[in-house]
Amino acid sequence: DTAVSQTPKYLVTQMGNDKSIKCEQNLGHDTMYWYKQDSKKFLKIMFSYNNKELIINETVPNRFSPKSPDKAHLNLHINSLELGDSAVYFCASSPWDREYTIYFGEGSWLTVV
């Protein structure tokens, strides 16, 4: 059984479109994240939710809006997509403890053309 699953895995879309990526975890973790990995493999945190509450909101354009309907789900909606949004987006989860060991999904490859 997949622990952290995200869909779609691949997404090709035109500039200006709006798209969503869905994520679900079945690990019972309290905390979920969205990370962005660029073409140089640099991995940067975007958002974090703990029990549906937003706790980390890094400097991300407000075209990106996370939504957590419950603690097992964290979706990412992106409005007015731009070429620079092309990247791999990883959903992840972790227990809410001091160690923050993170369990990643397989990634969603977004290409904006």
Contact between 110 and other proteins by CB under 8 A: the answer reads no
Neighbours of 5 (CB within 10 A): 15
Q: Rule CB under 8 A: which of 47-86 touch other proteins? A: 48, 50, 55-56
Binding other proteins (rule: CB under 8 A), the pick from 23, 24, 32, 33 is 33
Residue 72 or 79: the one with the smaller Cβ distance to other proteins is 72
Residue 14 or 39: the one with the smaller Cβ distance to other proteins is 39
Q: Is 10 helix (H, G, I), strand (E, B) or coil?
A: strand
Cis amide linkage into residue 8, ω under 30° from 0: yes
**DSSP character at residue 30:** S
Binding other proteins (rule: CB under 8 A), the pick from 1, 14, 28, 42 is 42
The residues, any chain, with a CB within 8 Å of residue 22's CB and separated by 6 or more, are: 6, 7, 73, 75
Cis amide linkage into residue 66, ω under 30° from 0: no
Residue 33 or 64: the one with the smaller Cβ distance to other proteins is 33
- Site residues (vs other proteins, CB under 8 A): 4, 31, 33, 35, 40-45, 48, 50, 55-56, 90, 92, 96, 98-107
